[in-house]
Structure 1
């Protein structure tokens, strides 16, 4: 007998599946009906509670005023109670979420009670009961006041009971919370945390004198920031919530350091708009502190008109557009109303990613990608001939110090030749402005990467002496930007996620840090102030940050204890690395109209001689001759103190090597003293 796949045995799974689906739907409808029934029963229960409250209030007022109810009085009372219940239903009294009962519920209560009393009096007039009901106007006024208090109080009591039960359902020990900020956001934080299981707000701090030593919802305002230590000792908080919109950086740092020293977690509060929510339009959002919050500097509203005038309606070319800085340059430039944006990178994926991001953020902007290496002049020249940009922002470079140190000729050739090709092609095609993104590693370089960027600065300065040049040029020198690809912060985060240890090269190592958007914004401000003198602008990076402190802060931000949960180990300086970075060589600095930007008083260089040195450097790199490359570059960068690894690779004598950490420390301190 041949098996029939369409027979009853084959249909059985399908029938069973259909039956199971139908059964599931029946259960689903049953659950919905059950929830709906429970909600209706609760609403009816509250209607009954309100009726009992109103009858009780009537009895109390009648006893106090020595009144009795006759048939006419009962007609008025029934009309009043029915009217109030109808108004409660129409105004949503019984649909309100008890946990969030507040001013809105009280307003409904007042409106319905007063209207009900008015209907009772209207019934007296309409039915002709004047003088026969024997209750009097004072009776209805007192009854209305007591009814408002009793009905509103019942909702408040229910809310307090729910909050108490909710707090008891959480962890046995609730975290004690000290709230900094006693304004509207602080009050919102208090109300939300009181309802949240596991939290117990204990006190406020606020620098506003008018609220200090006052009480908000039963919690005292203990003082200002100067009372932080005393408040922590008194309240013993587990969490500090910063409930201030856009808190100043010094405040965030102070609270974080105090929390880190005492093992107290610090959170930032944010009011989130929600016009359809139960809390009248605002809900509380809490988040952990990020490193950006600690490195952020005081907000300064810069006049963007010079930048907008430089960019609006123009064509712009950005090299290295796929990098961390290059991509942010693209976004900020696009926001200034450029007509076309040409983006260039040698990484296919990075170029594709920034192109997609720009297309999504600025769908009407014409974005033209160029995939090529800058070391090929003909390709670079073709791009400039095609794009005809008004402004070129050159952010392309190999930047990872140990990698370039291990491949010095390739790294130097890419950075110097790529820059020279873009500079030459820009001049040939009448570019109006040219900006070089430089680095603090160009100052007294100890690496091939830093020396290559210093050589680019010298080339730019020499270009100002070229009689044929017409471009406005500048270099912008700054330190590390937070979160750039391959930088120390992402590496620390990966090590924390994997359970440690965190590797720090040296306990005394410091670096300058700046947020990428701030750095790029200042780069564009500097570019708008460039002239044909090829200035080297220096961004004010603030105070240097110890890398070990940075690691400890990141560990604490992730809820771990430094040296306990996550160990810190020291790996030693890598080839080409410094203990300290600098922003000035031996130059003096003059100020601009923006305090965050200064101009280095750099030396002048002969354009023809620099061209000769450039050819020597490129020729040495082409044959991978590190010694010849170093020799040619040190003619213009005598302060370059090469690493031991590069010296060995280049076959240089020991006297030309830098091996002493004390030398690096002494050089930095002397430079700092000279510049100050």
Structure 2
């Protein structure tokens, strides 16, 4: 029987559009006529054969039905996708039809026709027309399910039997590649009941259902739940071989309604993120609204999110400054689109510029007159800066100083530096350069004669930022490759990019001058645990000695140059609370501006000649707690040394006693320290 339904349904659905239109109109005309006959027969309690006296009634039904149905758009709907809204439309059309049919029938005063037929016939016609639409939907479902036979379906449970769960469940049931087998809900009142024909279970039955029904997907449909509660649910399913998906929070849904497009994979950010702390919006708006704001490094991970968050405060002008064309173009398009959605009148100015170009930075500040600057431009990738220390210090330190000097000259009110926890007792050049930036701001803040309020915000890693482990792990898992970590015991502090940006803006708004703020980062996370969670969230398992048949292996590659096992947020123990429970104020030593400028003048000379040893020596002098690696990691300096060694060890021809020349290797002249002929010791 199903086969015949499938064949008939496929024939109808594959027919040209005009054929389907003719079938729909023809069926409705037939329904109008047959329901008149049925209504008369039921009312008169006998088989009523049509006669000439009743002809006007039989003509009235289709004459009214066809224009009314056309007016309501019932012949333009795609009935294979018919939902509840279509039946509401049919109902509205039938109300208009029924009123018109009953009224005209009374005026016609046809002998032998009871007035109740004017009510009974529209009811019967509604049942037939609505039923025909439901039948088309059924045939489409049968046809698609038959065509999907043999393909793997997503067999899923939905956690949350509320309005969002019901809405998304109904949408998923309409998709042939999903098979919804049940709802899970914490409410005891719903257990054992059915929602849209699907049973609701107690969450404790999840393991049995996963094993018995072969569930491979769990969708968490609780947008109004707190992040903590959603994290608890996600954690409870991590031990099962299922893919976990979720709906965004209710504040992220545009109109409170959910659709299939809102479903997203559970990311590690969902597990490590925290419930937001209320921001002092009045303070932020006072600092940002209707002002000109400059963001350097606007195309980066932190800079771009700063721009998005700043837009919520409606600045008059947002200056987007970056030295990478693609990043600048991307954030410019993004904020413009967001501004249209929230109807913000903010002006956006994309500026291609290198922060070390002090003349251009000064000109930008002179022309656009920014009142607030967020300095997020920096080289931040630890190994990359370690391989290129001179350029890292030039960009991070002297780029910051050029913006600082421009801000002072043009009378910028507030300057906020985005710093890092790697500035605390740094073991790498990147961390040392950021600590030097902090000290430079502290020194300038202590100077008199300017009105710029300098502040610094120090925090740990942000989840998903460019160059962080999360995008790397995500790509390795997607490609099925081994996940690489540098050490089994390595830990890092993490926070989400939006949370970091919000707290940076909040900290900058509360600054009074020379303030160094720390963002409360929670507990440090072991990177190997982070990798395991990301594998499990993907519905896969880690391959190790306990599970040799797992999907993804975790490999330890060893610490990279300048990398620490543990990060810290505070050099000493001198810190205090602020009005925001996630922001602390630190009090740390710095060098007076006169002494600092002397050292900086020597540092710039060392950078120009790429004297890496002297660069590190000066950094260590300014920052006593800086503990650089002993070996040279600079790739340019290392290659230069290798080429010098190669030239020295190259065989040469020399004259001996004025007689015939002979070839003498450099090793024979005692040049190579290891006594091996022709070898390189670089």
**TM-score if structure 1 supplies the norm length?**
0.76
The 10-residue stretch of structure 1 (451-460 or 298-307) with the greater mean CA deviation from structure 2: 298-307
CA distance in 2, matches of 1:469, 1:420: 15
Q: Does structure 1 conserve the Cα–Cα contact (< 8 Å) formed by 2:39 and 2:120?
A: no
Q: 1:253 aligns with which of 217, 231, 240?
A: 231
Partner of 1:548: 528
Corresponding position: 1:310 with 2:287: yes
Mapping of 1:115-126 within 5 angstroms?
A: 116=98, 119=101, 123=105, 126=108
Partner of 1:22: none
Give 1:174 shift.
Answer: 4.0
Partner of 1:26: none
**TM-score if structure 2 supplies the norm length?**
0.75
Flag the 1:119–1:166 CA change in 2: closer, same or farther, 3 A.
same
Q: Write the deviation string for residues 293-334 of structure 1: whole angstroms up to 9, x where unpaired.
A: 444432455243323322334344433344332344345446
The 10-residue stretch of structure 1 (489-498 or 379-388) with the greater mean CA deviation from structure 2: 379-388
Flag the 1:67–1:454 CA change in 2: closer, same or farther, 3 A.
same
Corresponding position: 1:175 with 2:154: yes
Partner of 1:159: 137
Q: Does structure 1 conserve the Cα–Cα contact (< 8 Å) formed by 2:246 and 2:266?
A: yes
Give 1:437 shift.
Answer: 1.0
Corresponding position: 1:423 with 2:384: no
CA distance in 1, matches of 2:495, 2:190: 36
Give 1:166 shift.
Answer: 2.8
Give 1:389 shift.
Answer: 3.4
Flag the 1:70–1:124 CA change in 2: closer, same or farther, 3 A.
farther
CA distance in 1, matches of 2:362, 2:101: 88
Flag the 1:549–1:56 CA change in 2: closer, same or farther, 3 A.
farther
Partner of 1:323: 300
Give 1:366 shift.
Answer: 6.0
CA distance in 2, matches of 1:179, 1:288: 14
Let me know the Cα RMSD of the aligned residues: 4.3
Unaligned runs of 5+ in 1: 1-30, 276-280, 652-676
Corresponding position: 1:187 with 2:187: no
CA distance in 1, matches of 2:31, 2:325: 71
CA distance in 1, matches of 2:326, 2:95: 68
Q: Write the deviation string for residues 165-207 of structure 1: whole angstroms up to 9, x where unpaired.
A: 4323313364322112323332232222222213221211234
Structure 2 counterpart SS, 1:329: helix
Partner of 1:105: 87
Q: Does structure 1 conserve the Cα–Cα contact (< 8 Å) formed by 2:298 and 2:307?
A: yes
Aligned residues: 607
Flag the 1:138–1:403 CA change in 2: closer, same or farther, 3 A.
closer
Structure 2 counterpart SS, 1:310: helix
Flag the 1:429–1:77 CA change in 2: closer, same or farther, 3 A.
closer
CA distance in 2, matches of 1:184, 1:567: 40
Corresponding position: 1:600 with 2:600: no
Give 1:346 shift.
Answer: 4.8
Corresponding position: 1:216 with 2:202: no
Partner of 1:443: 424
Structure 2 counterpart SS, 1:261: coil
Give 1:613 shift.
Answer: 4.1
CA distance in 2, matches of 1:153, 1:400: 64
Corresponding position: 1:525 with 2:506: yes
Flag the 1:352–1:152 CA change in 2: closer, same or farther, 3 A.
closer
Flag the 1:451–1:117 CA change in 2: closer, same or farther, 3 A.
closer
CA distance in 2, matches of 1:609, 1:80: 101
CA distance in 2, matches of 1:442, 1:292: 24
Partner of 1:17: none
